[in-house]
Amino acid sequence: MDMDRHGALTKLGFGALTFNSALAIYRSRGDPATVAFVAGAYAAIVLLFYFLLRFERRRDDRGRTKVVVWVLTTLLTAMFAARVAPLMPPLVAFVVWVMAAGTSVAGFWAFFLNL
């Protein structure tokens, strides 16, 4: 895929993310917790893609960038698990949290321990 097309798809994706997030905030304007969740998730996703791009393009300071990427992915995983788990029966909610923890631990292993 050539670079111009890749850039256009990235911009299209961010446009769709921004539109969807704005629409979700508009529809949830009476629920401050939901607005905060959507805004926080949007900010974390934008930061995550910024740092992933930085990780791809820069060879220096990759250690710190890895930490930021892992923290942001762990934050997003926990945020979504916290929204989904209360909607589930207790056993399924437990499985949601176990899977979220497992994903975070596996990400840590892949980034920092897997030489």
What residues does each domain of the chain span?
3-113
Residue 3 has pLDDT above 80, yes or no: no
- pLDDT recorded at residue 5: 64
Residue 6, pLDDT score: 65
pLDDT band with cut points at 50, 70 and 90 for residue 4: low
Q: Cα 92 to the chain's mean position, in Å?
A: 22
Burial (CB count within 10 angstroms: exposed 0-12, middle 13-18, buried 19+), residue 12: exposed
Give the pLDDT score at 55.
83
What percentage of the chain carries pLDDT values higher than 90? 66
- State residue 52's pLDDT score: 87
The stretch 16-37 carries a mean pLDDT of 94
